[in-house]
Structure 1
């Protein structure tokens, strides 16, 4: 998979997503907006190098541990995952799982998760060993090992790039 440097725009990270993941991400943002919830996509495609930098956070570098996946071990590395946050009333990006800006009586975060699951996303908050609350992925039934060995969902940008080479 092609390297996407850190300086790239958010659009490049979104462009690296599988077309179906991208379409469902757009639908999720629209459905949440209809409920007066502003979803912000904080991560899409990540290069293996970027994934390794995130893995070192909280281990070799300062900060909290944010992933247990090294480069090539995350669905982000194959364009099959996104991370999200919400925008608060002041326009700040927040990871507040309790906030109820739309006054529905339910957490905006969990409303987004419910919408995402209905669209076919798996939620990292359901994981047993390492709960990753901002993480959403569609794996199309592929394991990381299969992806690493060159098996990709139909329509994957990786599949298309390899067919062209």
Structure 2
């Protein structure tokens, strides 16, 4: 009986904590652009890739919830390939914490070829860009377990999508 009471009290404390955490951040507006640290790292990624003879383009950054829902519908309600499993509000793009990139071998040409070696150094340009991105603090979608999202780079600052939905932002966890 004592164990059951302790368990119930502990559960109530946890629920109260979660409720107050939610209330603390819940009235914050959604971001409307890339987070400044993500934008800075994105610019550094372009510059550092260029130094290795690799030209890249950022194909996507911040997305509104409406834009994310449209992308989510691809392959479900439209005749296209599924490119995401994240609905609006469930993507780090919606919080300004993610970018997508592609290689740009020539002006006006964009490719998503993971094997392409345009700088002819014997290493995939894609892998070189990912290595640079990781050194800048990005996580790579190619490392995701469920859905390999090779163009995707994100900085989550240790925040889950649930915490972001509740209104928590990188500023709350960055020293």
Q: Aligning the two structures, in what range does the TM-score lie when normalised by the shorter sequence?
A: 0.7 to 0.9
Matches within 5 A, 1:77-96: 77-89=94-106, 91-96=108-113
The question of whether the paired residues in 1 share the 8 Å contact of 2:31 and 2:96 is answered with no
The question of whether the paired residues in 1 share the 8 Å contact of 2:102 and 2:110 is answered with yes
C-alpha distance in 1, partners of 2:114/2:123?
A: 10
| Aligned equivalent of 1:35 | 52
C-alpha distance in 2, partners of 1:2/1:20?
A: 17
- Mind listing any 5+ residue stretches in structure 2 that lack a counterpart? 1-28
Instruction: Give structure 1 regions of 4+ aligned residues with deviation exceeding 6 angstroms.
Output: none
| Aligned equivalent of 1:57 | 74
User: 1:110-144, CA deviations, whole angstroms, 9 ceiling, x for partnerless residues?
Assistant: 00000000111000000111000000000000000
| Aligned equivalent of 1:134 | 151
- Mind listing any 5+ residue stretches in structure 1 that lack a counterpart? 5-15, 156-165
Q: Residues 104 and 91 from structure 1, CA distance in 2 versus in 1: closer, same or farther, beyond 3 angstroms? A: farther
Q: Say which of 51, 54, 61 aligns to 1:44.
A: 61
Deviation at 1:62, TM superposition (A): 1.5
Give the secondary-structure state (helix, strand or coil) at the position aligned to 1:154.
helix
Higher gyration radius (CA): 2
Higher helix proportion: 2
RMSD: 1.5
Q: Residues 71 and 140 from structure 1, CA distance in 2 versus in 1: closer, same or farther, beyond 3 angstroms? A: same
Q: Residues 3 and 32 from structure 1, CA distance in 2 versus in 1: closer, same or farther, beyond 3 angstroms? A: closer
C-alpha distance in 2, partners of 1:36/1:44?
A: 23
C-alpha distance in 1, partners of 2:108/2:92?
A: 29
| Aligned equivalent of 1:111 | 128
- Give me the TM-score of the superposition, normalised by structure 1: 0.84
Q: Say which of 138, 147, 159 aligns to 1:121.
A: 138
Q: Say which of 143, 146, 149 aligns to 2:160.
A: 143
- Give me the TM-score of the superposition, normalised by structure 2: 0.79
C-alpha distance in 2, partners of 1:148/1:89?
A: 39
